[in-house]
Amino acid sequence: MAHRLVILASGSGTLAQAIFDSQADLDIEIAAVISDNDAAPVLVKAQAMGIAIDVIAVGASRQDWNLQITERVAVYEPDLVVSAGFMRILPPDFVHRFPTINIHPALLPNFPGAHAVRDALAAGVAVTGTTVHWVDDGVDTGPIITQMEVPILPGDDEATLHERIKKVERGLIVATIALILPTLERHV
């Protein structure tokens, strides 16, 4: 029986597409793609693959959103939640209930937060990269699962460096899911 995944995504869906394309190899069922952005291209990609989609926009109350995302994900009974370019901090109740991984465009613990690529360039480091980690109550503070280095090249700007990191991330997220699936309990 395949493991059930829910993917959280806010944008173009390149990471989600890498997971979609690896479903058979990973022996997973993607139960749903959930976004906080109703215009996210990832939703169109998921629909084209026959995957259920859901949108939970952040409204006036963050507390209501926290409750909604937890309740909606619970409906899908995931064995694993994958945050793939999801630009929201998940509530503590959520990450305590669902095993959740995130991919971050830096070698954590260096450069946490929303501007990791810009921060790495500003710091003048020669190497940055990407990290897949368990999501906890903090911002990019959960235990590291896998990392891969990406060198910063002369002439790199935020866009070119981020694009090279994204290419590495697509392979790393799939490899990391394959690595951790045997450790997860399945919902039956």
Catalytic positions: 104
Q: Are 77 and 64 spatial neighbours (Cβ–Cβ below 8 Å)?
A: no
b/e code 156-170 from CB counts within 10 Å (16+ = b):
beeeebbebbbebbb
DSSP alpha helices (H): ranges in the chain? 14-21, 23-26, 41-48, 62-75, 92-97, 116-123, 158-180
Q: What is the DSSP letter of 181?
A: G
Strand order in the sheet with 28-35: 53-55, 28-35, 3-8, 80-83, 100-104, 127-134, 144-151
Count CA atoms within 13 Å of residue 150 on its CB side. Answer: 25
